[in-house]
Structure 1
Amino acid sequence: MKNFQAYLFDMDGTLLANERLKGEALARTCNLYGANASCEQYKQVMGGSWEFVRHYFCEENGITPAEEKFDAEFKEIYQELLLTTVLEPTRGATAFLADLIKQNVKLALVSSASRWMVDTILQKIFGKDAFDVIISKEDVTMHKPDPEAYLKALKRLDTAPKNALVFEDSSVGIQAGLRAGCTVVAIHHEFNIKQDLSQAAFGIHGFDELVQDRE
C-alpha cells in the first residue's frame, strides 16, 4: 500500500467495534414505547444518517414518539452504555494510528455521529488530540453519501483528494469518500455483511493487516 499524505477515518464500525452497542441503545429506546426491538435491526440501516436510522426503527417497531424526546432518551441510554461498557477498537486500530502519528501524517475523523458521541468515544479510547481535524454531524448540511464531510476535512487538512486515504465501513460512506476523489478502504464486520462495499479499492477486517503491510 502506497503512503498517503492524509488518512481520514469514519468512526462507528470503522475505528471502533461499536455497531452492536449502538443498535442495542436504539432497541432499548424503542422498547421504552412498548416495542420489541432488536439490535439486529440496525444491520439494515447502519451507516445512514441519524434521521434515517431513527425513522426506520420507529416505523419498523410501530412507534410514533416525538423526535426530540426519542433523541434525548437515546442519548441518555447510549451515553450510559458508552461509559459503562468496555469499548473495543477495531483490531489493530490503536497501533495503526500510533504508527501514523509517529510519521507526522495528517489525520482526520469524519463521522456522521453527533459531536457528543464523537467526544465521548475519543476521550475514552483514542484521546482528544489524536486527530488534526474532526468532522461530526453538526459540521455539515449534507450527510454521506454526499462528499461534503470529506471535502470539508480535506480543505482543513490542506490536502488534495488524490493524496488522501479514507477508511469506511458502509456503502454510503464509501460513496462519500469516492465522490470526494479519495481512495477508499472498506472495513468488514458482522454488521455490514449485507452492504455492498465493492466500490472500495480493497477491504480489510482489521488494521493489523495494514500495520503488517507497512513493516
Structure 2
Amino acid sequence: MRAYLFDLDGTIAANEVLKARALAQACATYGAKADHSIYADVMGEDWPTVTGHFLKAYDLRPALDGFNDRFRGFYLDFIETEIFETDGARQFILETRTSGIKTGVVSSAATWMVETVLAKLGLQDSFDVIITQDHVAHHKPDPQAYLLALSQLQVSARDTLVFEDSSAGMRAANAAGCDCVIVRHAFNRKHDFSDAVREIESFSEILGAAAKGWHS
C-alpha cells in the first residue's frame, strides 16, 4: 500500500456520540425532549439529511442557520471537554507515516469541524491531504472526495486503503476503486459492511502492521 485514507468522525475520532448529543441539545433549545440515539438512523449521511431527521422526528421548524449555530455551540463545547481518539488511532497513523505510506483525511464534515477535531487530537499536521465537504460538490456515497484525494496524492486506487465507519463512506471508497476497512462502534451497528475487506473495533488491533498486507 502506498496510501491510507481515513474518514474522521467515528473513524479516527470517537466522536459520533458527541455529535449526536449536540444535535439533541440543539433540539432541546426549541422545547423538544430529544433522544440522541436516533442519530444512529442517519449516521454517515449528508448534513441536511442528518438535521432533517432530527427536526422531523420532533416536529421542529426552526431557521436552519439558527439551528446549526446552536448545534455548533454545543458541539464545540463537547469537543473541547470530551473528545478522544479511537483506541490506537494516533499510534497507527504515526506508524503509517514512519513506514513511508502517504496519509489523508477524507471527511463529509465541514472544514471547521475537521480542523477543530484534528487540532484537539493533536493530529492537524499528520496528513498529506485533507478533504472536507467544502472541497467537493457531491458527498459520500459519491466517490468524488476519494477520487480528489487520490489525485492530490498521485496514487492509484489499487495502492490505497480506506478506513471508514459508515456504509455511505464504504460505498464511496469502493466506487473510487479502493478497498475499505470498517471501524465498528455503537452508532453503525445497523450498517451493512459486507463489502468491506475487514472490520475492526480499534486501531490497536492492527498496530505494527501498517506496511504489511494484513487486510487481505
Question: Quick check: TM above 0.5?
Answer: yes
Shift of 1:5: 0.2
Q: Distance in 1 between matches of 2:110 and 2:76?
A: 12
The answer for the alignment partner of 2:105 in structure 1 is: 109
Instruction: For residues 32-78 of structure 1, give each alpha carbon's deviation from its aligned partner in whole angstroms, at most 9, with x where no partner exists.
Output: 11111111011111001111101111001110011111111111111
Instruction: For residues 163-184 of structure 1, give each alpha carbon's deviation from its aligned partner in whole angstroms, at most 9, with x where no partner exists.
Output: 0000000000000000000010
The answer for the alignment partner of 2:187 in structure 1 is: 191
| Alignment RMSD | 1.2
Q: Distance in 2 between matches of 1:183 and 1:40?
A: 30
Aligned pair partner of 1:139 in 113, 135, 139: 135
The answer for the alignment partner of 1:80 in structure 2 is: 77
The answer for the alignment partner of 1:93 in structure 2 is: 89
Query: What does 1:2-17 align with in structure 2 at a 5 Å threshold?
Result: 4-17=1-14
The answer for the alignment partner of 2:33 in structure 1 is: 36
Shift of 1:212: 4.5
**Partner of 1:186: helix, strand, or coil?**
strand
Stretches of 4+ aligned residues off by more than 3 angstroms? 212-215
Identical-residue share of aligned pairs (%): 43
Corresponding position: 1:71 with 2:68: yes
Query: What does 1:147-162 align with in structure 2 at a 5 Å threshold?
Result: 147-162=143-158
Query: What does 1:175-214 align with in structure 2 at a 5 Å threshold?
Result: 175-213=171-209
Q: Distance in 2 between matches of 1:54 and 1:145?
A: 18
Contact in 1 for aligned 2:166/2:188 (Cα 8 Å): yes
Counterpart amino acid of residue 26 in structure 1:
L
Shift of 1:28: 0.2
Contact in 1 for aligned 2:95/2:208 (Cα 8 Å): no
Q: Distance in 2 between matches of 1:32 and 1:52?
A: 20
Shift of 1:150: 0.3
**Partner of 1:8: helix, strand, or coil?**
strand
Shift of 1:132: 0.6
Shift of 1:199: 1.2
Q: How many residues align?
A: 211
Counterpart amino acid of residue 12 in structure 1:
D
Gaps of 5+ in 2: none
Contact in 1 for aligned 2:5/2:161 (Cα 8 Å): yes
Aligned pair partner of 1:127 in 123, 129, 138: 123
Q: Distance in 2 between matches of 1:132 and 1:169?
A: 21
Q: Distance in 2 between matches of 1:31 and 1:142?
A: 31
The answer for the alignment partner of 1:169 in structure 2 is: 165
Gaps of 5+ in 1: none
